[in-house]
Amino acid sequence: MSSIRHESPIGVAGVDPGVLSWWRALRAIAALNVCLWLAVLQFAPASGVYAPLQLALSGVYVLVCAYRSLFPRVDLERLVVVDTHLSSIFLGRTAATIAEICFAFQLGLLVHQLAAHAGMPAVQKAAWAIPLFMVIAQCFCWHSVLTLNHITQAVESSLWAAGFSWMAILLGVIALNSSGWVHAVALVGIVGSTGFVAYVLSVDVPMYCRRYREGRARGLVYMRLDEGARDAWSRRVHSGSWVAWKADALWLTPYFSFGVWASIAMVCVPGT
């Protein structure tokens, strides 16, 4: 597959009303998220040794999600709403990798903080396995982006589900051995974690497996890593069709809303 460099100006010509409405919603959510983070920075009480780190990690995640909301893309399909160099798949994936690692460490810190309040040092140590799942997942994600092989994208999603499953287990242990606000936060975390796992295993993983089978049926030839890197840097497929976007909009929308809100909320958890 040859790399194609697009030089057309930014615009929304030929974009379906549905895609425009969705894109406007993403931009509005991005603006709201930045305002929420700034409000937390200004007004929320920060306590504990990890508070500045939680705030910084959340800030990275908020900003990257805002950038990705302005320039939505689907990595393997090279699909973009706005045809500009800022929509580069390689650039966007790099930013997303940094942000997702930050979010993963936020999750580990959250469980670590709750376990510290509950007086459970063993759970504190076990909490650091949570981001490990997500960091390993990034390797499979990059393999899929560079080779165009959806099966490793399914593995990536499965690793995220595994990380959240481990998080739910640790939060369950904390909930059984705590009370008050620590118990309440642990229960909320369990609900959120299990809900995420159920979504990934019922929607994301089957979607990527289906795309893998469809690619094999079409005789899709996977790229070498170096070929894929050049392709991801330069090739963009501009589409304003809602049919092309709706499947990925189902996960991009909660990712840029509920995911960011969870990141900001973790900043407000009292530290030790």
Q: What pLDDT sits at residue 220?
A: 87
Confidence of residue 151 (pLDDT cuts 50, 70, 90): very high
State mean pLDDT over 112-124: 95
Q: How far is CA 238 from the centre of its chain?
A: 22
pLDDT above 80 (res 48): no
pLDDT at 10: 46
With bands split at pLDDT 50, 70 and 90, how would you rate the model's confidence at 4? very low
User: In the predicted model, is pLDDT for residue 106 greater than 80?
Assistant: yes
The answer on pLDDT for 232 being more than 50 is: yes
Residue 234 vs residues 36, 92, 141, 158: alpha-carbon distances, Å: 34, 12, 19, 29
Cα dihedral 34, 36, 42, 46, rounded to 10, equals -110
Per-residue confidence (pLDDT) for residue 43, from 0 to 100: 85
pLDDT recorded at residue 65: 98
Mean pLDDT of 95-102: 98
| Cα–Cα separations (whole angstroms), residue 217 to 27, 210, 225, 237 | 37, 11, 22, 21
Say if pTM beats, i.e. exceeds, 0.75: yes
- Please state the rounded mean pLDDT for residues 27-45: 93
End-to-end CA distance of the chain: 54
In whole angstroms, give the CA distance from residue 209 to residue 154: 6
